[in-house]
Amino acid sequence: MKIAIIGGKLQGTEAVFLTREAGFESILIDSNPDVPASGLADRFVCGDVIAGDPEVIAAMEEADMVLPCNENDELLTAVCNICREKNLKLAFDPDAYDITKSKAASDALMHDHGIPAPRYFPEGKAPYIIKPSGESGSAGVRKADSQQAVEDFLADCEYPEGWVIQEYLEGPSYSIEVIGVPGNYRTYAVTQIHMDQVYDCCKVTAPCLVGESGEKRFDEIGRKLAELVNLHGIMDVEVIDDGEDLKVLEIDARLPSQTPIAVLKCSGMNYVRELADIVCHGEFQTRLTAPVCYSIYEHYRRKDGHIVQEGEHMMAEARPLALRENFCSAQVVMTDYDGTGSSFRGIFVCWDESAQRLEQRCRQVNADLKRLP
Cα 366 from Cα 45, distance rounded (Å): 35
Q: What is the DSSP letter of 146?
A: S
The class that CATH gives domain 2-92 is alpha beta
**pLDDT tens, N- to C-terminus, the chain (373 residues):** 999 999 999 999 999 999 999 999 999 999 999 999 999 999 999 999 999 999 999 999 999 999 999 999 999 999 999 999 999 999 999 999 999 998 778 888 988 999 998 888 888 788 888 888 766 555 678 888 888 888 888 888 878 878 888 888 889 999 999 999 999 999 999 999 998 877 789 999 999 988 888 899 999 999 999 999 999 999 999 999 988 889 998 899 999 999 999 999 999 999 999 999 999 999 999 999 999 999 999 999 998 889 999 998 899 899 999 999 999 999 999 999 999 878 999 999 999 999 999 999 999 999 999 999 9
**Phi, psi at residue 184, to the nearest 5°?**
-150, 75
Instruction: Tell me which CATH code domain 170-281 carries.
Output: 3.30.470.20
Domain boundaries, the chain: 2-92, 119-167, 170-281, 294-370
Which amino acid, residue 220?
Answer: E
Question: For the residues of 52-72, what is the DSSP string, one character each?
Answer: T-HHHHHHHHHSSEEEE----
* CB environment 347-368: b (16+ within 10 A), e (fewer): bbbbbbeeeeebeebbeebeee
CATH fold of the domain at 119-167:
Dna Ligase; domain 1 (3.30.1490)
Cα 278 from Cα 266, distance rounded (Å): 22
Hey, CA dihedral for 46, 11, 323, 284, is it positive or negative? negative
Topology alike, domains 2-92 and 119-167: no
